[in-house]
Amino acid sequence: MIIDTQGYYEDDEVYVGKVSYLDNPWLPAELKNDAQKIKQENYKKWRHVYGGECDANYDDALIQPEWVDAAIDAHIKLGFTSRGIRVVTFDPADSGQDEKALSKRCLLKIA
């Protein structure tokens, strides 16, 4: 997402800037210290509490968000051309602690 790479998004009608707790000039020292402590002890929690990212329920996740991020543009990183069938699945998750899920994949035949 462009806001994650540039820190802002702007067009003719909208300006959206990404800010964090560090942009707060009145941030109490105890919160700054707490943020550093959480960042060292539990980076995923820090990303949500202080990093402005969505809270992902990592305990129930079958596929960690970091794995998904690593797979983006894998064909470019690994230097292959993908060919195959695109598949989309949906899990409505109407009970339990897991969230709804949408999965898209391409059954690859590496050239």
The string of DSSP codes covering 54-87 is ----TTT-SS-HHHHHHHTTHHHHHT----EEEE
Reading the block at residue 38, the tokens are 């959480």
Domain that holds residue 61: 57-111
Owner of token pair 């797979």: 71
Q: Which of 37, 55, 73 is the last residue of a domain?
A: 55
In this structure, the answer to whether residues 39 and 84 fall within a common structural domain is no
Distance CA(35)–CA(46), nearest Å, equals 7
In this structure, the answer to whether residues 48 and 90 fall within a common structural domain is no
Q: How many residues in total does the chain contain? A: 111
pLDDT value for 41: 92
pLDDT per position as a tens digit, 68-94: 788 888 888 888 877 777 777 766 665
In this structure, the answer to whether residues 45 and 23 fall within a common structural domain is yes
In this structure, the answer to whether residues 62 and 49 fall within a common structural domain is no
In this structure, the answer to whether residues 85 and 107 fall within a common structural domain is yes
Lowest mean pLDDT segment, chosen from 2-11, 22-31, 35-44, 93-102: 93-102
